[in-house]
Structure 1
Amino acid sequence: MLNSDDLRLFLTILREGNMLAAARRVGLDHSTVARRVGHLETALGVRLFDRSPRGVTPTQAAFALTPHAERIESELLAAAASVRDRDRAIDGTVRLATPEAFASHLIAPRSALLRDRHPGLTLELASESRTTSLSKREADMAVMLKPPPRGRLVTRKLADYRLGLFASRAYLDRHGVPATRADLQGHVFLSYIEELAGFPEMIALNQLLPGATIGFRASSSAAQQAAVAAGMGLAFLHVFATMNDDRLVQIMPGDMQVSRSYWLVMHSDLQRLPRIRAVADFIDDLMRGARDRL
């Protein structure tokens, strides 16, 4: 018979990358972790990890076992939450991964509303430019710029938003206000560090002005906005993030503007958990109130 605790330990080793880190995560010593993995391999009649002095490497059997172990883990989490939350208020922790601007300008300023609704609920907001893996449990749910291509995930569109070309008032006083694409020649632009941008959709400059002269790159949209406001040059910024920044001016909004979309993604087995539904409802309410800004 398979032991569900051993299966969850197996998943922890996969996610941490080695047995020592997995042992620290679950509060066991390394020898206990190795012994329990050995018991699991004996029960299955296969080798799950190749051992070497440098660590462990998952075998093909491990990859075959992973989706089944994840379903068992999800069912155990759902079962525990269903019983625990039946007679008490929603509580626990939800980790939400979102792009930086979504986190800073939409979620964080209104997080007190979620706290007022559910005082026992803790929101962990992971604002990142890279794609978060829900299958590896890096987060419980995520806001992404495009639907994931595959996996046991539930996806729905939240809203469209706009990226526009901006400069500071001081920069435009020095260099003039561009009125046509030809006027943009010779201007310095700011953009993302491409290999650190998890979503190509973040980089509007490549779509609208390929070959533009770039004088500053950053992995952060906030850093780009700060540099534009300081007079560094021109950049495509989130329109909703600039609305309260009087230093910035949008340039050629009819021509130099693109639309992107936000998508809410969660693991299909977690969507039934009360705390996950509570955060999803909170995000939906925010989107309804923010559509004019987006």
Structure 2
Amino acid sequence: GELIARRLGRVRFYLCGTPANVALWRGARKTAPFVGYDDGVPDIPETQWIATHAAGNPVRFRSTSLVAQCMAARAGVGLALLPSYLLAPELQTVDAAPQLERELWAVFHRDLKALPRLRAVLDWLLDCCGEL
């Protein structure tokens, strides 16, 4: 009752990797190596997507850090499910359509609603999220 939630937008996630790993995924899906999350976050949609679509594939690197996953994918360690804002030029997506989408929300206390600094941050976040 004391919190306000404001929808900021959606983040799209793409399965991506080096051209060699993407080619391997397209040709022999079960042998394509993956970069994934460690066991500390089993219930998030990204982990569940990987468990469903890459079950049985070798996982060569695990981290809860998306930046670390991106760096591993860029180095050719394996395919990673990354948000659009981390798609580096050397990464290729397996498909033009996103594999997963998630909503982003800002939650703040009702008493802060009129603060100019909160309004400024929310406006900035909305602007940033419009590009995802």
Which residue of the partner structure matches residue 102 of structure 2? 260
* TM-score, structure 2 normalization: 0.82
Q: Residue 194 and residue 270 in structure 1: after superposition, are their counterparts in 2 closer, same or farther (change >3 A)?
A: farther
Q: Residue 217 and residue 279 in structure 1: after superposition, are their counterparts in 2 closer, same or farther (change >3 A)?
A: same
Work out which of the residue numbers 243, 247, 260 in structure 1 matches 2:90: 247
Secondary structure class of the residue paired with 1:269? helix
> CA–CA distance in 1 between the matches of 2:53 and 2:6?
27
Secondary structure class of the residue paired with 2:50? helix
Q: Is 1:163–1:257's contact at 8 Å kept on the other side of the alignment? A: yes
1:23-172 aligned at under 5 Å gives the runs 152-169=2-19, 171-172=20-21
Aligned residues: CA RMSD: 2.5
Secondary structure class of the residue paired with 1:272? coil
Q: Structure 2: which 5+ residue stretches go unaligned?
A: none
Relative to its length, the structure with more helix (as a share) is 1
> CA–CA distance in 2 between the matches of 1:207 and 1:152?
38
Asked which structure has the greater RCO (Cα within 8 Å, sep 6+), the reply is 2
Q: Structure 1: which 5+ residue stretches go unaligned?
A: 1-150
Secondary structure class of the residue paired with 1:178? helix
> CA–CA distance in 2 between the matches of 1:154 and 1:221?
28
Secondary structure class of the residue paired with 1:231? coil
